[in-house]
C-alpha cells in the first residue's frame, strides 16, 4: 500500500516521509516546489536508503488531482501537509491562502470520497486556539476567531474535514502542531525558509552563522517569567513520528470517532530568551539580539496539554529544547557550508 504525502518535500513533510519509509511504507510525494526543492529527495534517500516516488503537482488544479488519483487507485491513505504557512504573508494575500489551503483540500477529499474507506491526517495548528485562557492547552479549549487568514484556513480546513467525514467513508485525524523546530540529527534534511525567516529558530541560526546581523526579540513586556513570549517548541522528528502513529491508527481502524484531534507539543513552555540561552549553550557562542516592540498578532503564551496524545496514540515527545537547537544549528552549518 502506498501513502500519499502532499507537501512531502517541505520541512515537516520530508521528516515524516523519512519516518514512513523507516517503517516500511511505500510513499508517493506530491509537491509544487513553491517552498521546497528536489534536493530534499537526496536527503531522504541518504537517511533511509530509499527514494520516494515524486510528482510535481499543484493541488489547486482539480483535473490534475483527479488524474493523479486515477493513476494511483491503490492510495487510500493521505498525510496532507501541502499549504501556504506564512502568517504575515496571509494577511497581505488572503485569497492566495484561501485558494491554496482550502481548494486543494476539497479536491483531495473529493477523490478520497470515491474509496470504500479512506484515511487522512491533516496538518493543523495550535493557532486555532488563539490566546487560550488556560495553560496547558487541551483539545477541547475553545476555538477562537483566527488572528490571520493562515490560521483561518486551518480552522476552516478542520471544519471541512469534520463535515465531510460525517457523510463519507473518510476517517481523519487532525494534528494541531505547536511550534515545530530542529532538523533530522543526520543534518541531511531540515528547515529551508525562503527569504527572511519569519520564525524564531531559523532566524536564530541564520544570525549565528552571520547571515543576519542580530535577532529582534519581539516583546519583553509580556506577563511571563522573563517578559518574553512563551511557546511549546517540539522537535520536528518527534512530530513526524506522531504522524506515522496516527496514520497507522486509522489504517488499523482503531479510531474511536470518524475525526479525532490531538495536540502535538512537548507540554512545556519556553520563552524566547530561554530558546536563545539554549541555543547559546549548544553552539557555545553568544547570540546578538535586541529587545524590541511586540509583533502584531502575537499571543503571550501557548503550550500543549499532551495527555490525550500520550494516552491514546501512545506517543510522547522525546527530544529536549537543547537537542532541537543543536540539530537546527548543525543543519544551518551544513547548508551554509555546501
Ligand atoms: C515564536 C516566538 C515571536 C521571530 C507561527 C504560526 C504557527 C506556526 C509556527 C506554521 C514568538 C518570537 C519570532 C523573531 C522573535 N506556523 N520571535 N523574533 O508565531 O509562535 O507561530 O509559526 O505552521 O502556526 O502561528 O512562531 O517562530 O514566528 O515565533 O522574537 O525574529 O518567537 O514573537 O513569540 P509563532 P514564531
User: Nearest residue CA, atom 34 of ligand 1?
Assistant: 229
CATH superfamily of 2-181+233-264: NAD(P)-binding Rossmann-like Domain (3.40.50.720)
pLDDT at 194: 84
> What was the ipTM of the complex prediction?
0.97
Contact 317, 263 (CB under 8 A): no
Ligand 1: lining residues by beta carbon, under 6 Å: 85, 87, 125, 127, 179, 198-200, 203, 215-218, 229, 231, 272, 295, 298
| C-alpha to C-alpha distance for 121 and 104, rounded to whole angstroms | 14
Say whether 301 sits in a helix, a strand or coil: strand
d(CA 265, CA 75) in angstroms, rounded, equals 29
Name the DSSP letter for residue 209: T
Separation CA 252–CA 268 (nearest Å):
31
Q: Residue of the nearest CA to atom 36 in ligand 1?
A: 199
Ligand 1 atom nearest the C-alpha of 201 is: 27
Q: pLDDT at position 1, please?
A: 79
Closest CA to 6 of 243, 265, 324, 316: 243
User: What is 46-83 written as a DSSP string?
Assistant: HHHS-PPEEEE--TT-HHHHHHHHHH-TT--EEEE--S
pLDDT by position in tens, the chain (length 338): 799 999 999 999 999 999 999 999 999 999 999 999 999 999 999 999 999 999 999 999 999 999 999 999 999 999 999 999 988 899 999 999 999 999 999 999 999 999 999 999 999 999 999 999 999 999 999 999 888 999 999 999 999 999 999 999 999 999 999 999 999 999 999 998 888 999 999 999 999 999 999 999 999 999 999 999 999 999 999 999 999 999 999 999 999 999 999 999 999 999 999 999 999 999 999 999 999 999 988 999 999 999 999 999 999 999 999 999 999 999 999 999 86
Q: Whose CA is nearest to atom 13 of ligand 1?
A: 200
Q: What span, in angstroms and rounded, lies between the C-alpha atoms of 25 and 164?
A: 26
Domain locations in the chain as residue ranges? 2-181+233-264
HSE of 136, CA atoms in CB hemisphere, 13 A = 19
Ligand 1 centre to CA of 309 (Å) is 23
- Cβ pair 304, 265 in contact under 8 A: yes
According to DSSP, the β-strands at 233-235 and 179-181 are: parallel
What are the cell numbers at 257?
Answer: 470517532
Q: Which atom of ligand 1 is nearest to the CA of 151?
A: 24
Q: How far is the CA of 137 from the centre of ligand 1 (A)?
A: 17
Q: Is the pTM for the entire model greater than 0.95?
A: yes
Distance CA(174)–CA(165), nearest Å, equals 12
Contacts of residue 296, defined as CB under 8 A and 6 or more positions apart, other chains included, come to none
What's the 144 CA to ligand 1 centre distance in angstroms? 18
For position 88, what pLDDT does the model report?
Answer: 87
Amino acid at each position: 500500500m502506498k501513502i500519499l504525502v502532499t507537501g512531502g518535500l517541505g520541512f515537516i513533510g520530508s521528516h515524516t516521509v523519512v519516518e514512513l519509509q523507516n517503517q516500511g511504507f511505500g510513499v508517493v510525494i506530491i509537491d509544487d516546489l513553491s517552498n521546497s526543492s528536489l534536493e530534499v529527495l537526496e536527503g531522504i534517500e541518504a537517511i533511509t536508503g530509499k527514494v520516494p516516488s515524486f510528482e510535481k503537482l499543484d493541488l489547486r488544479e482539480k483535473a490534475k488531482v483527479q488524474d493523479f488519483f486515477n493513476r494511483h487507485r491503490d492510495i487510500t491513505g493521505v498525510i496532507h501537509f501541502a499549504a501556504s504557512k506564512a502568517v504575515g504573508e496571509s494577511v497581505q494575500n488572503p485569497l492566495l491562502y484561501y485558494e491554496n489551503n482550502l481548494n486543494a483540500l476539497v479536491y483531495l477529499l473529493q477523490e478520497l470520497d470515491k474509496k470504500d474507506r479512506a484515511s487522512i491526517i491533516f496538518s493543523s495548528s495550535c493557532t486555532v486556539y488563539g490566546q487560550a485562557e488556560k495553560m496547558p492547552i487541551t483539545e477541547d479549549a475553545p476555538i477562537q476567531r483566527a488572528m490571520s487568514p493562515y490560521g483561518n484556513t486551518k480552522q476552516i480546513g478542520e471544519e471541512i474535514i469534520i463535515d465531510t467525514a460525517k457523510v463519507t467513508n473518510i476517517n481523519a485525524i487532525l494534528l494541531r502542531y505547536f511550534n515545530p523546530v530542529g532538523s533530522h540529527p543526520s543534518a541531511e534534511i531540515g528547515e529551508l525558509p525562503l527569504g527572511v525567516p519569519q520564525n524564531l529558530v531559523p532566524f536564530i541560526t541564520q544570525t549565528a552563522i552571520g547571515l543576519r546581523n542580530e535577532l529582534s526579540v519581539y516583546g519583553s513586556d509580556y506577563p511571563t517569567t522573563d517578559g518574553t513570549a512563551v511557546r511549546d517548541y517540539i522537535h520536528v522528528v518527534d512530530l513526524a513520528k506522531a504522524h506515522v502513529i496516527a496514520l497507522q491508527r486509522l489504517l488499523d481502524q482503531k479510531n474511536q470517532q470518524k475525526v479525532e484531534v490531538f495536540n502535538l507539543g512537548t507540554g512545556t513552555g519556553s520563552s524566547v530568551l530561554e530558546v536563545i540561552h539554549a541555543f547559546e549553550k549548544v553552539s557555545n557562542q553568544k547570540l546578538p539580539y535586541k529587545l524590541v516592540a511586540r509583533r502584531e498578532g502575537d499571543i503571550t503564551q501557548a503550550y500543549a496539554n499532551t495527555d490525550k496524545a500520550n494516552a491514546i496514540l501512545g506517543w510522547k515527545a522525546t527530544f529536549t529544547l537543547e537537542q532541537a537547537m543543536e540539530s537546527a544549528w548543525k543543519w544551518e552549518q551544513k547548508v551554509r557550508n555546501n
